[in-house]
Amino acid sequence: MPAAITVHAPATTANLGPGFDTLGLALDLWNETRVSLEGERIVIHTHGEGEGQTLPAGEHLLVRAMRRVYEVCGHPFPQGLHLWAHNRIPWGSGLGSSAAAIVSGLLAANALLGNPLPSTELLLLAARLEGHSDNVAPALLGGLTVSLFQDEQVLVRPLPWRPFQVTVVLPEFSLPTQVSRRFLPQQVSLSQAVRNMARAFFVAQAFAEGDLTLLRQAMQDELHQPYRLPLIPGAQEALAAAQSLGAAVALSGAGPSLIAFSLPGMPPVAPAMQEAFARAGLRSRTFALQIAPQGASLRFQTG
């Protein structure tokens, strides 16, 4: 059995405009979590994002995910466990911090038990813990994914993509996913569903071709963004500012961050987006990222 395991898990953006709860993309911003079986209790050290906001160990998503694997495999959960979480993905940002924690916990626990669970089972456990599959799928597989979590199964496929430049602007505003989901309609009209469905196909094709013009046209949505953007001061203006500079822009996951796709040589979008948030009284942070081709990975230290 390895003495310690280190898991790297990427940030992810979900929805990509019209692909609500189905499309997801891995981004090259990584959380690093080292897990070792030692001591007689669960100890979690958090560095970077979320430092100083620690939860009781039993409520931590990393530990809950690990526990699920032990339960499913019928093994008693270890009493002594040390976790060092070096977080780069901001919490509650729309960048998949919970998916990264879940995937890290599942992969670490599975490795500690000698990898009894296949990746399909890990994806299903991850979707159950998260409640939807669109962040956990690219967190595990990397790149662009489409997934459907239904009837206790996850149907998933990697989709082809070409690189775009990615700019994420994260305002200092709290909008937990559970809260922002409460603002969504329970029903939409058939014509809205049809338009969204077509746009989601176009988003996938725009990624396959690296066609920013198509992505800009396709990245509109009628299922969630019209209800969520008004909840975030300055978000509609920031989105419009980036669009006017030629970028394809969407709310990242449930927000509050916005994600803009552009091509090299285009004007930077972050200053105009940050200015829009500032006018609404919000400070913001910017992340210049690339699409991550790989999903979460493990490294073992023996000793």
Which positions touch ligand HSE (CB under 6 A)? 14-15, 20-21, 132, 134-135, 177, 181, 224, 253-254
Confirm if 242 and 222 have CB atoms less than 8 A apart.
no
- What percent of the chain is helix, strand and coil (3-state, nearest 5)? 35, 25, 35
CB of 253 to ligand HSE, least distance (A): 4
CB of 106 to ligand HSE, least distance (A): 17
Given the complex with ligand HSE, which of 88 and 181 has the nearer CB atom?
181
C-alpha triplet 298, 115, 23: angle, nearest 5°:
65
Given the complex with ligand HSE, which of 17 and 111 has the nearer CB atom?
17
CB of 15 to ligand HSE, least distance (A): 5
Q: Is 149 exposed, middle or buried (0-12, 13-18, 19+ CB in 10 A)?
A: buried
Confirm if 26 and 10 have CB atoms less than 8 A apart.
yes
Given the complex with ligand HSE, which of 8 and 224 has the nearer CB atom?
224
Confirm if 166 and 27 have CB atoms less than 8 A apart.
yes
CB of 263 to ligand HSE, least distance (A): 26
Distance CA 5, CA 11 (A): 20
Distance CA 56, CA 34 (A): 18
CB of 102 to ligand HSE, least distance (A): 11
Beta carbons within 10 angstroms of residue 230's beta carbon: 11
User: Residues near 55 by Cβ (< 8 Å), separated by ≥ 6?
Assistant: none
Sign of CA pseudo-dihedral 207, 211, 212, 217:
negative
Given the complex with ligand HSE, which of 216 and 224 has the nearer CB atom?
224
CB of 150 to ligand HSE, least distance (A): 14
Given the complex with ligand HSE, which of 149 and 287 has the nearer CB atom?
149
Given the complex with ligand HSE, which of 66 and 223 has the nearer CB atom?
223
CB of 132 to ligand HSE, least distance (A): 5
C-alpha triplet 110, 112, 116: angle, nearest 5°:
40
- Token pair belonging to 277: 């948030």
Distance CA 164, CA 248 (A): 10
Q: Kind and range of the H or E element at 286?
A: strand 284-289
Given the complex with ligand HSE, which of 223 and 270 has the nearer CB atom?
223
CB of 130 to ligand HSE, least distance (A): 7
Given the complex with ligand HSE, which of 20 and 207 has the nearer CB atom?
20
